[in-house]
């Protein structure tokens, strides 16, 4: 296949590129800072030479957008919003002008679209979507993505949870704080953590591309979410670290200021289940956190 990954220089993009290239596919990356032969310049806002590379491609995966791992002041909020909406909008404009458009377009979204929930398990069918900054970003993002219905292009929004891998994302940070004896629960510890191993994330993307029954919004997360307290306990056990200091909410609030992030990233309960993936028969290599930790360590 010829695969275009927009915003593909981050953790997820790098792993997808490696995964598909090992299978013999051609992967091109749209980025603001091209450094390699397969990287093509784009500003994620305006049409340019990059649109010619979309011609005759099989798959487009859009991962573009400012990271939410920052302080939510007005400037950052606007940048998060515009980076995700503008990139989706300009890709649609480019696709509308193609003679041979891709068959599948996967656009990033987030499991954060669902409300804070410790008891209710959110599937695509029964998920409760609320109203705050993070949820509204996801809603606007998906609305822009699905606004235009191209009959020849299958569209899938990837509602991805925390992705665990060795070379980026949340896991290296969790590993470090646990090794330092700071791997206790955060806040009350009963907030649910939905997660997926990076290998299963890549496999799920491939499976969605190949499975023509899959369209619309898809929860890309392992089938067994667990509480924050249980997650940290299992990680301490895997690392053979007997002790982990707990962090109270007020401590996290202070720390988040210095770390230039938001406590929501740790304290929101994301209780999400991959209903469509399970119904269609996707087989997870790492369905449980113990197996995932065993592999990552």
pLDDT digits (tens, 9 = 90+) for 145-187: 999 988 889 999 999 999 999 998 889 888 888 998 988 888 8
Question: pLDDT tens across 28-57, in order?
Answer: 999 999 999 999 999 999 999 999 999 999
Contact 206, 19 (CB under 8 A): yes
- For the cut 70, the answer to whether the pLDDT of residue 222 exceeds it is yes
Residue 186 bridge partners (DSSP): 247
Tell me which of 11-25, 64-78, 194-208, 258-272 is least confident.
258-272
The predicted pLDDT at position 66 comes to 78
The predicted pLDDT at position 265 comes to 67
Question: pLDDT tens across 59-87, in order?
Answer: 999 999 877 776 878 888 888 888 899 99
Measured in whole angstroms, how far is the alpha carbon of residue 32 from the centre of its chain?
Answer: 20
Q: Give the residue among 193, 64, 34 at the shortest CA–CA distance from 118.
A: 193
Torsion 114-147-81-203 (CA) sign: positive
The continuous run of DSSP H or E covering 206 comes out as: helix 198-210
Contact 118, 128 (CB under 8 A): no
Q: Give the residue among 154, 153, 52, 155 at the shortest CA–CA distance from 107.
A: 155
The continuous run of DSSP H or E covering 31 comes out as: strand 26-31
Report the alpha-carbon distance of residue 74 to residue 118 in Å, rounded: 29
Contact 84, 64 (CB under 8 A): yes
Report the alpha-carbon distance of residue 157 to residue 140 in Å, rounded: 12
pTM: 0.93
- For the cut 80, the answer to whether the pLDDT of residue 282 exceeds it is yes
Question: pLDDT tens across 247-272, in order?
Answer: 887 777 887 777 777 777 676 878 99
The predicted pLDDT at position 247 comes to 81
Q: What is the mean pLDDT of residues 224-252?
A: 90
Q: Phi then psi for 287, rounded to 5 degrees?
A: -75, -25
**For 166, what's the count of Cα atoms within 13 Å in the CB-facing half-sphere?**
7
Domains detected in the chain? 2-296 (3.40.50.720)
């Amino acid at each position: 296949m010829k695969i275009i990954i927009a915003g593909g220089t981050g953790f997820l993009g790098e792993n997808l590129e490696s995964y598909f290239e090992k299978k013999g596919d051609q992967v091109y990356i749209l980025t603001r800072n091209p450094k390699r032969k397969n990287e093509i310049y784009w500003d994620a806002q305006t049409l340019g030479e990059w649109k010619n590379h979309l011609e005759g491609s099989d798959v487009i995966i859009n991962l573009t957008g400012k990271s939410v791992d920052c302080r939510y002041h007005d400037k950052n909020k606007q940048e998060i919003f515009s980076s995700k909406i503008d990139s989706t909008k300009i890709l649609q404009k480019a696709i509308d002008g193609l003679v041979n458009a891709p068959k599948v377009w996967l656009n990033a979204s987030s499991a954060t679209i669902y409300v804070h929930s410790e008891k209710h398990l959110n599937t695509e069918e029964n998920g409760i979507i609320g109203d705050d900054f993070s949820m509204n970003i996801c809603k606007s993002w998906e609305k822009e993505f699905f606004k235009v219905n191209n009959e020849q292009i299958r569209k899938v929004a990837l509602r991805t949870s925390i992705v665990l891998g060795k070379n980026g994302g949340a896991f290296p940070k969790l590993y470090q704080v646990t090794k330092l004896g700071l791997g206790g629960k955060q806040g009350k510890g009963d907030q649910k953590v939905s997660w997926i191993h990076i290998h299963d994330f890549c496999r799920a993307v491939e499976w969605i591309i190949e499975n023509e029954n899959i369209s619309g919004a898809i929860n890309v997360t392992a089938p067994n979410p667990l509480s924050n307290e249980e997650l940290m306990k299992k990680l301490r056990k895997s690392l053979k670290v007997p002790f982990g200091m707990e962090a109270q909410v007020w401590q996290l609030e202070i720390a988040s200021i210095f770390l230039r992030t938001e406590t929501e990233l740790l304290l929101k309960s994301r209780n999400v289940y991959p209903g469509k993936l399970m119904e269609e028969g996707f087989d997870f290599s790492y369905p449980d956190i113990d197996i995932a930790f065993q592999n990552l360590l």
